[in-house]
């Protein structure tokens, strides 16, 4: 259902393309506690691992523990993970569901809420999970669609390259 809904979303003429080698489109979303987080404010100091997911997405749930391992390994070197929930509904209800999910899996990275799919549409996400690796200069260096082991040798190499 997500694929059909996103594929039918209206296009945004003149917007920045969210593709490898292009600047990452800026956005501001609220975290599950209601605090605003702006991508461009992080990019001056950190590389960003931007992940789109949902609480009902089984592959998302399965990759989250490996994201947590990567976060703990690379956070001190300047990696920030922003996990953007695409769960639809009233923001307060989504915030409760997302907080419960994050606590259940013992995840410490920030979870942001995009119940209206503003950022999903901006990045033209067509499947979950979807991850954009963005360097400190704001350039998208890799896009991964589908579940991944983010602590595998291949993934760690991508993260090491991102942090150079």
Using pLDDT thresholds of 50, 70 and 90, give the confidence band for residue 2.
very low
CB contact at 8 A, 82 and 37: yes
State yes or no: pLDDT of 13 exceeds 60: no
State yes or no: pLDDT of 142 exceeds 60: yes
pTM over the 0.95 mark: no
3-state SS class at 30: strand
Say how far apart CA 162 and CA 41 lie, in whole Å.
Answer: 18
Domains and CATH numbers, the chain: 15-163 (3.40.30.10)
Phi and psi, residue 107, nearest 5°: -95, 135
3-state SS class at 26: coil
CB contact at 8 A, 129 and 141: no
């Amino acid at each position: 259902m997500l694929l059909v809904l996103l594929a039918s979303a209206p296009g945004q003429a003149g917007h920045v393309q969210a593709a490898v080698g292009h600047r990452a489109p800026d956005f501001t979303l609220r975290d599950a506690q209601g605090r605003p987080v702006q991508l461009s404010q992080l990019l001056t100091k950190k590389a960003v691992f931007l992940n789109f997911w949902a609480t009902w997405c089984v592959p998302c749930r399965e990759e989250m523990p490996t994201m947590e391992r990567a976060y703990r390994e690379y956070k001190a070197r300047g990696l920030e993970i922003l996990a953007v929930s695409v769960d639809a509904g009233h923001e307060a209800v989504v915030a409760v569901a997302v907080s419960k999910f994050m606590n259940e899996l013992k995840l410490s990275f920030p979870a942001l809420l995009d119940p209206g799919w503003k950022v999903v549409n901006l990045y033209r996400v067509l499947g979950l999970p979807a991850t954009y690796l963005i360097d400190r200069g704001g350039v998208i260096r890799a896009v991964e669609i589908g579940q991944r082991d983010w602590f595998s040798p291949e993934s760690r190499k991508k993260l090491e390259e991102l942090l150079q």
